[in-house]
């Protein structure tokens, strides 16, 4: 069995981890909060992304759409991060080695990088295309990539529950030569 880093062990046996494992109501309520927050994150981001793609309410400005929704996105993201951290603390060692969990975290980081590039590069010119012009290709690409990454987060999040406790890594002794001489 692989040994996790000491900080993972410390997280698992922290007061939060102990509370999550010992309180019969903690898991279902934290799970419900996590699911609701993730739904709100994805839903609000999806509306902004669909507007950037020109598939939703083209008569509404991009800035108005973003201004009205993104404060909800950030609040929901904070709730998802807190509830996700509580989940992680309950069984940190298992999550640490779970491939679906690792890819989910990678997808979240990539979604954040995509958002940062969009916000600090493409969105700076929003005044030129806020209402009367279609968003530039860079904005549309960022929106499409955002949808893809957040759908990936959702799918991998569901897979975690079905792979938790199983090592789904590719075994070292697998031969990928497929009969090569």
pLDDT tens figures, 48-81: 999 999 998 888 999 999 999 999 999 999 999 9
- 33, 83 contact by CB (below 8 A): yes
Report the C-alpha gap between 63 and 67 in whole angstroms: 6
Q: Which of 78, 47, 74 shows the shortest CA–CA distance to 143?
A: 47
- 118, 141 contact by CB (below 8 A): no
Summary mean pLDDT of the chain: 91
The model's confidence at residue 163, banded by pLDDT at 50, 70 and 90, is confident
Report the C-alpha gap between 160 and 94 in whole angstroms: 10
pTM for the full predicted model: 0.86
pLDDT at 89 over 90: yes
pLDDT at 119 over 60: yes
The model's confidence at residue 2, banded by pLDDT at 50, 70 and 90, is confident
Share of the chain above pLDDT 70, in %: 90
Give whole-number Cα distances, 174 to 15, 98, 118, 177, 178, in Å: 41, 19, 41, 9, 10
């Amino acid at each position: 069995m692989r040994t996790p880093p000491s900080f993972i062990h410390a997280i698992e046996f922290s007061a939060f981890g102990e509370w999550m494992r010992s309180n019969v109501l903690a898991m279902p309520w934290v799970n419900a909060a996590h699911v609701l927050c993730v739904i709100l994150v994805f839903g609000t981001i999806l509306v902004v992304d669909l507007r950037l793609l020109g598939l939703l309410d083209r008569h509404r400005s991009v800035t108005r759409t973003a201004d009205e929704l993104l404060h909800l996105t950030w609040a929901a993201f904070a709730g998802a991060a807190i509830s996700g951290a509580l989940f992680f603390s309950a069984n940190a060692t298992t999550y640490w080695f779970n491939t679906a969990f690792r890819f989910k975290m990678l997808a979240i980081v990539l979604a954040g990088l995509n958002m940062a590039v969009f916000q600090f590069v493409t969105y700076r010119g929003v005044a030129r295309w806020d209402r009367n012009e279609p968003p530039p290709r860079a904005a549309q690409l960022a929106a499409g990539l955002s949808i893809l990454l957040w759908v990936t987060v959702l799918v991998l999040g569901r897979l975690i529950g079905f792979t938790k406790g199983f090592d789904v890594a590719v075994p070292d002794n697998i031969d990928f030569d497929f009969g090569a001489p």
